Amino acid sequence: APAPAPSPHLFSDPAEVEALRGDLLSWYDSCKRELPWRTLAATELDADRRGYAVWVSEIMLQQTQVATVIDYYNRWMQKWPTLQALAQTSLEEVNELWAGLGYYSRGKRLQEAAKKVVSELSGHMPRRAEALQKLLPGVGRYTAGAIASIAYGQATGVVDGNVVRVLCRLRCIGADAGSPTVTDQLWDMANALVDRSRPGDFNQALMELGATVCVPKAPLCRECPVKQHCRAHQRKLLGKPLLVPDVEDCGVGGCPLCPPATEPWDSSLGVTNFPRKAARKQPRAARAATCVLQRRGCGGPEYLIVQRPSSGLLAGLWEFPSLPLAEGLQEEKQREMLAEQLQAWTGSPVAARGLQLVGEVIHVFSHIHQTYVVYSLSLDEDVTLDPALSPSRWVTEEEFRASAVSTAMKKVL
Ligand code: SF4
């Protein structure tokens, strides 16, 4: 019987793989963005410091734009240039530096992991992706692969959102990109493609391509260094599949990587037919009443902030006293509840009618569409805060901005 034809979704020709590696790396060498963590990883001779530099950058870059990360990264590395320095600092200081970067548990876990490396691994980072993932809290498969390949030269692939997009387009993978089948396939592909002599550069090049050329909405295919290897691009140019066996035939046999039969190729979308994603879950709506409580301080107004619990959303961060609100609660009732809560915080009676409704602030967290109903209240006399309650303190506006507070609370102020 004739051998089965190779799947059109895979890289089955070694010569093509070699050519793709070469094209991608040449482009990267001439076009890559100069980023502080790249410079550091390329010039740092101490292996642990190199691993640490890549690790910090990778954690900060999760769900966050490069342009936002640069300043945070530089300040972080200046303050804690080594794992040992990070392990010795307080969580409060980590939260203060992280304030505004979002997904706050990342900073906390980075510090926990640094402590673990210092106390349990003699201060030495694991060098292999498998060990990094297994031993370091907060280090998943992607981050482990990035550290091992970029800092330690292990020939292991990485798959992040950019790589998903590029690979799905290169090989016309149109099944749900978040499904386990496609995810496994993409990891296998990334591991097979990665350049054996320059794995770190290759992985960064693939991600860089996704971030700057093969972007989600309007990819710059004409300028793309790997367009001759891209099946989505070929298909767009020809207006029909070119491959033998072609990608559409593949779907007839229930191919797990083809677009679902109900959603065939849409020529108006071109290469952006790929990747396909299952519809995202809408964020849950939540409401909270929050009060900017103000008193006259020596150098100007001061505000009361309280610390959130040490686990859950925005763990350990500071905020204006806030109270979750049930859906459909009347304004009068929410005012009363907030006044009661404030009374507990300050230990002094607070009249509900004294609370002035200022407006609403909306902030979208990854999975919560949060509305803060903002009140303000100025206190004439001093109040003594009850130490039995969660930690709380009075801060000036300047201190507030330097504290570990979320972006949402800065909007409230
Ligand atoms: Fe992406 Fe276009 Fe390049 Fe294909 S040719 S990898 S779709 S930018």
CATH number at residue 51: 1.10.340.30
Q: Is 226 in the pocket of ligand 1 (CB under 6 A)?
A: yes
In terms of pTM, does the model score above 0.75? yes
Q: Is 219 in the pocket of ligand 1 (CB under 6 A)?
A: yes
C-alpha–C-alpha distance, residues 4 and 253, integer Å: 13
- 8 A C-beta contact, residue 110 and residue 51: no
201 CA from centroid of ligand 1 (Å):
19
C-alpha–C-alpha distance, residues 275 and 294, integer Å: 51
Same domain flag for 50 and 163: yes
Same domain flag for 356 and 265: no
User: Which of 210, 241, 273 is the C-terminal boundary of a domain?
Assistant: 273
Same domain flag for 343 and 256: no
Same domain flag for 126 and 183: yes
Same domain flag for 332 and 304: yes
Place of tokens 């907060």: 138
Q: Assess whether 397 carries a catalytic annotation.
A: no
DSSP state of 353: G
pLDDT number for residue 201 = 96
Give the structural domain span for 380: 284-411
C-alpha–C-alpha distance, residues 76 and 57, integer Å: 10
Same domain flag for 176 and 322: no
Is 101 contained in some domain? yes
Is 7 contained in some domain? no
Pocket residue to mutate for ligand 1, from 167, 208, 231, 233, most atoms within 8 A of Cβ: 233
**Which CATH number characterizes residue 362's domain?**
3.90.79.10
User: Which of 224, 253, 273 is the C-terminal boundary of a domain?
Assistant: 273
Is 59 contained in some domain? yes
Same domain flag for 227 and 374: no
236 CA from centroid of ligand 1 (Å):
11
Q: Minimal CA–CA distance to 375: which of 288, 305, 284? A: 288
Whole-number Cα distances in Å, 275 to 14, 141, 144, 152, 197: 24, 21, 24, 31, 29
**What is the pLDDT tens value at each position of the chain, 413 positions in all?**
666 667 788 888 999 999 999 999 999 999 999 999 998 888 877 889 999 999 999 999 998 899 999 999 999 999 999 999 999 999 999 999 999 898 888 999 999 999 999 999 999 999 999 999 999 988 999 999 999 999 999 999 999 999 999 999 999 998 888 899 999 999 999 999 999 999 999 999 999 999 999 999 999 999 999 999 999 999 888 766 555 445 555 654 578 888 887 777 888 899 999 998 777 778 899 999 999 999 888 888 999 999 998 888 888 899 999 999 988 888 889 999 999 988 887 777 888 888 999 999 999 887 899 999 999 999 876 677 766 677 888 999 999 999 999 999 999 99
Is 133 contained in some domain? yes
C-alpha–C-alpha distance, residues 1 and 187, integer Å: 31
307 CA from centroid of ligand 1 (Å):
47
Q: Minimal CA–CA distance to 213: which of 222, 203, 204? A: 222
200 CA from centroid of ligand 1 (Å):
21
DSSP state of 276: B
- 8 A C-beta contact, residue 165 and residue 210: yes
Q: Is 232 in the pocket of ligand 1 (CB under 6 A)?
A: yes
Count other Cβ atoms within 10 Å, centred on residue 34. 6
Catalytic residue among 16, 18, 58, 92: 58
Is 3 contained in some domain? no
Q: Is 163 in the pocket of ligand 1 (CB under 6 A)?
A: no
pLDDT number for residue 244 = 43
User: Which of 273, 304, 331 is the C-terminal boundary of a domain?
Assistant: 273
pLDDT number for residue 104 = 86
Please report, as a single letter, which amino acid is at residue 246.
D
Is 9 contained in some domain? no
Specify the 3-state DSSP secondary structure of 409. Answer: helix
Q: Is 169 in the pocket of ligand 1 (CB under 6 A)?
A: yes
Same domain flag for 138 and 28: yes
Is 173 contained in some domain? yes
Surface-to-core class of residue 157, CB atoms within 10 Å of its CB (0-12 exposed, 13-18 middle, 19+ buried): buried
Same domain flag for 175 and 292: no
pLDDT number for residue 4 = 64
Number of compact structural domains in the chain: 2
Same domain flag for 224 and 156: yes
Tokens of 82: 């080594």
Q: Is 20 in the pocket of ligand 1 (CB under 6 A)?
A: no
pLDDT number for residue 405 = 93
Which ligand 1 atom lies nearest to the CA of residue 271? 7
**Closest Cα to atom 1 of ligand 1:** 214
Same domain flag for 311 and 255: no
221 CA from centroid of ligand 1 (Å):
5
Pocket residue to mutate for ligand 1, from 27, 28, 167, 170, most atoms within 8 A of Cβ: 170
Q: Is 271 in the pocket of ligand 1 (CB under 6 A)?
A: yes
| Main-chain phi, psi angles of 302, to 5 degrees | -125, 150
Same domain flag for 249 and 291: no
Pocket residue to mutate for ligand 1, from 207, 213, 274, most atoms within 8 A of Cβ: 213
69 CA from centroid of ligand 1 (Å):
26
pLDDT number for residue 226 = 97
